[in-house]
């Protein structure tokens, strides 16, 4: 699929970050875009940006949806068919995700499963809801967002990262399995898995994904990320959430716009494995060179050292 003009794309998590960047770049190329997100306000901003940049006749639509809920995703698929009067789509970007869910041992089942069910369940539910529409078109492409934590299930020896990493490995395995499944049963549909490194998005600021707002949402998100917030005041929690999220977004080596461009180039070139950012490439290289050492404390030092040498 070299040209996106006249195509129909579905994007989960379209309210911010890579989802918004994908939507803007696709509509600029003449592609109709349907997006979902848990935040109606964020999607309204994305839609406004898309409409300001889209050629005449390009359509956009949005739908408030929790991707971890299969019924809501099915309703999103029905909305897309109705809004665009279509029996097919061409592109599906299962992009939505949240952070958190660190320790399997110390966190509650609800905290752990919230992250897992969005980051993995959202991909599964998206594929289930929209695969019939992808297959119904003359050509299609499903793009599932994993992470560098789908290459390496850790953030280092001092912190637990089990829910997010488990989900992102599930996304990786599912997409790799789909390659053969689609080749046998729907060869006109391709599959890609995306491994972003540190990309400048608002994932760390997205407290709405926890199902709560304000200090309660920030406290839940920070606790899921491993921060000791139980003894902190609401004001302290809100300030920590703000600084943590802004630092993650603003200090990233790759912007959301750059990441979206890499993803779309990967689709054009039918690449099933799409790494984003120099950190992702270096991490992949180090894990492949010494997989048995990947979870030893010294591994992180070697990886960070190689990143610094590359940047020098």
Q: Which is it for strands 32-37 and 8-12: parallel, antiparallel or unpaired?
A: parallel
Residue 164 annotated among the catalytic residues of the structure? yes
DSSP H or E stretch at residue 141 = strand 140-145
170-185 per-residue burial string, b: 16 or more CB within 10 A, e: under 16 = bbbebbbebeeebeee
Helices (H), the chain: 17-28, 40-53, 70-84, 109-119, 121-136, 162-185, 214-224, 234-250, 256-268, 278-289, 297-311
Q: Which two tokens stand for residue 240?
A: 């920590």
- Work out the angle between the directed axes of helices 256-268 and 17-28 (0-180°, nearest 10): 60
141 backbone φψ class: left, alpha, beta (φ>0; ψ -120 to 50): beta
Q: Which of 124, 164, 281, 295 is catalytic?
A: 164
Please list, in sequence order, all residues whose beta carbon lies within 8 angstroms of the beta carbon of residue 127, skipping any fewer than 6 positions away. 92, 94, 142, 144, 174, 178
Distance CA 283, CA 287 (A): 6
- Non-local (6+) Cβ contacts of 263 within 8 A are 18, 22, 93, 143, 192, 194, 274, 276
- 99 in Cβ contact with 147 (< 8 Å): no
- Residue pair 178/142 in contact by the 8 Å Cβ criterion: yes
Catalytic residues: 164
């Amino acid at each position: 699929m070299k040209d996106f003009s006249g195509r129909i794309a579905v994007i989960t998590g379209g309210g911010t970050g890579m989802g918004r960047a994908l939507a803007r770049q696709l509509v600029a190329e003449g592609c109709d875009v349907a997006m979902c997100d848990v935040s109606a306000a964020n999607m309204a901003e994305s839609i406004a940006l898309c409409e300001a940049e889209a050629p005449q006749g390009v359509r956009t639509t949005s739908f408030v949806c929790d991707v971890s809920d299969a019924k809501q995703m099915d309703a999103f698929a029905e909305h897309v068919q109705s809004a665009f009067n279509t029996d097919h789509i061409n592109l599906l970007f299962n992009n939505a995700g949240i952070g958190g869910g660190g320790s399997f041992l110390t966190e509650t089942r609800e905290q752990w499963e919230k992250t897992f069910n969005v980051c993995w369940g959202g991909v599964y539910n998206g594929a289930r809801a929209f695969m019939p529409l992808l297959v119904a078109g003359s050509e299609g492409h499903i793009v599932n967002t994993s992470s560098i934590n789908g290459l390496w299930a850790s953030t280092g020896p001092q912190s637990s990262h089990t829910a997010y990493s488990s989900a992102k490995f599930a996304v990786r395995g599912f997409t790799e399995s789909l390659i053969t499944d689609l080749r046998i049963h729907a060869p006109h549909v391709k599959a890609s898995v995306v491994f972003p490194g540190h990309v400048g998005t608002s994932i760390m600021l997205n407290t709405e994904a926890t199902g709560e707002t304000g200090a309660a949402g920030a406290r839940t998100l920070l606790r899921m990320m491993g921060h000791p917030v139980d003894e902190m005041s609401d004001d302290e929690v809100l300030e920590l959430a703000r600084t943590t999220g802004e630092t993650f977004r603003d200090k990233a080596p790759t912007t959301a716009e750059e990441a979206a461009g890499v993803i779309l180039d990967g689709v054009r070139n039918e690449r099933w494995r799409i790494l984003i950012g120099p950190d992702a490439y270096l991490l992949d290289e180090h894990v492949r060179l010494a997989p048995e050492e990947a979870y030893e404390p010294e591994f992180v030092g070697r990886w960070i050292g190689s990143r610094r040498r590359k940047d020098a």
